[in-house]
């Protein structure tokens, strides 16, 4: 078994004792109140406040941040309670406060205590290397789907083990946009009980209750090309990656995956590594396996960053990845500007 990355350790012993389900989900969670995310938020100044810790423009309010956190908790809930899922493994920088918060939720008592595993990575945000290290050491032989934190599994996933049965197969899947109704009553109450919400009574009332995320509206058109459609190839945005590793990856192979999950072009670079370094056959059967993107609250900005994050460029990442692959004896060349040509045909 490959040595775990320093600071990466499962917090609970892995066991499939929950009954039902035959796939493992690996994901992460933004925890906006912790060290790995909170300090990067560009928070709007409150009335009369002007300090270096808040921004006058291109900022988010705490109410917006709270709403996004509740949305992500709903995504996690849907993955945990999914009938095809045996267990969910969440890689995050601070596990203890998340565990305390989740323990207050009714669905966690019924399903999460058995199916959910928090994996602390020592105050960092997970990179693709963290995910692949964890899958390579803790989930060998399992049918695994790695999903972005705002993707929940919908229809078709009971078929995944059969689709991964052919040796050296991996699936990269385009996403769906839907109108999703959900309730934040319990998740908001848990946040207030943990002292997370510094909201006024009116804001508290607005956050806790019935909500709807409608990703089908015209304001979401910026993501249109990333959706699953039978009419064309996906242009190269994948939010779910399914595989079944049967042997551990080497330290050199894992190092190739060492780049941020949110890097521009990161999905296509991931496809490139799986295909060229691991020799996996890739396909995009998103017409069968449905993953739903849920990101109505605090939507991504393609202009000034409101959360203070700067994404690594695809040229920077692609050059570094290919240099590491060259050290492994692989001399395949893919100019960064050609990454978009790796789009997979929708099946």
Q: Is the pLDDT of residue 163 over 50?
A: yes
Tally the domains of the chain: 1
| 106, part of any domain | yes
pTM for the complete prediction? Answer: 0.91
Element (H, E) at 118: strand 116-120
Asked whether residue 101 is assigned to any structural domain, the reply reads yes
Are the C-beta atoms of residues 190 and 105 closer than 8 Å to each other? Answer: yes
* Tokens of residue 170, six digits: 């991996």
**Which residue segment(s) compose the domain that 102 sits in?**
25-39+78-126
Q: Is residue 112 situated within a structural domain?
A: yes
Residue 90: which of 65, 115, 107 has the closest Cα? Answer: 115
- pLDDT digit string, tens, across residues 178-211: 999 999 999 999 998 898 886 555 566 678 899 9
247-291 pLDDT per residue, tens: 999 999 999 999 888 777 788 889 889 998 999 999 999 999 999
Nearest to 84 by CA among 115, 41, 38: 115
Q: What is the C-alpha separation between 129 and 134, in angstroms, rounded?
A: 8
Query: 3-state DSSP: the chain helix, strand, coil percent, rounded to 5?
Result: 35, 20, 45
The dihedral sign for the CA sequence 187, 189, 192, 198: positive
How far apart, in whole angstroms, are the C-alpha atoms of residue 309 and residue 40?
Answer: 7
**pLDDT of residue 47 exceeding 80:** no
Is it the case that residue 13 has pLDDT exceeding 50? Answer: no
pLDDT tens digit sequence for 286-325: 999 999 999 999 876 655 566 666 677 777 888 888 888 8
Given this model, what pLDDT does residue 55 score?
A: 67
For residue 340, pLDDT over 50 is answered with yes
- Which residue carries 């319990």 as its tokens? 186
């Amino acid at each position: 078994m490959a040595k775990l990355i320093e600071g990466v350790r499962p917090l609970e012993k892995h066991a499939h004792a929950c009954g039902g389900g035959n796939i493992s989900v690996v994901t992460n969670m933004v925890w906006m109140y912790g060290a790995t995310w909170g300090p990067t938020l560009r928070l709007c100044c409150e009335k009369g406040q002007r300090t270096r810790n808040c921004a006058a423009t291109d900022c988010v309010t705490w109410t917006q941040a709270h709403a996004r956190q509740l949305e992500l908790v709903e995504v996690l809930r849907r993955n945990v309670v999914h009938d095809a899922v045996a267990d969910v493994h969440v890689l995050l920088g601070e596990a203890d406060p998340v565990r305390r918060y989740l323990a207050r939720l009714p669905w966690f008592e019924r399903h999460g205590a058995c199916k959910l595993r928090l994996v602390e990575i020592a105050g960092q945000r997970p990179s693709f290397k963290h995910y692949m290290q964890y899958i390579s050491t803790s989930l060998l032989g399992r049918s695994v789907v790695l999903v972005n934190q705002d993707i929940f599994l919908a229809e078709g996933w009971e078929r995944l083990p059969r689709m991964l049965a052919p040796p050296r197969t991996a699936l990269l899947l385009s996403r769906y946009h839907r109108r999703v109704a959900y309730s934040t009553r319990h998740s908001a109450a848990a946040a207030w009980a943990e002292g997370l919400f510094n909201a006024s009574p009116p804001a508290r009332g607005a956050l806790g209750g019935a909500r709807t995320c409608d990703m089908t509206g015209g304001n979401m058109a910026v993501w249109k090309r990333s959706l699953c459609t039978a009419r064309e190839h996906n242009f190269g945005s994948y939010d779910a990656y399914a595989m079944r590793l049967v042997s551990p990856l080497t330290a050199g192979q894992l190092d190739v995956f060492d780049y941020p999950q949110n890097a521009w072009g990161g999905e296509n670079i991931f496809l490139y590594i799986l295909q060229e370094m691991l020799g996996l056959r890739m396909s995009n059967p998103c017409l069968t396996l449905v993953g739903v993107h849920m990101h109505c609250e605090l939507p991504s900005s393609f202009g000034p960053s409101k959360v203070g994050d700067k994404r690594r460029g695809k040229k920077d990442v692609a050059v570094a990845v290919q240099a590491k692959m060259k050290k492994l004896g692989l001399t395949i060349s893919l100019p960064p500007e050609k990454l978009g040509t790796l789009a997979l045909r929708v099946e």
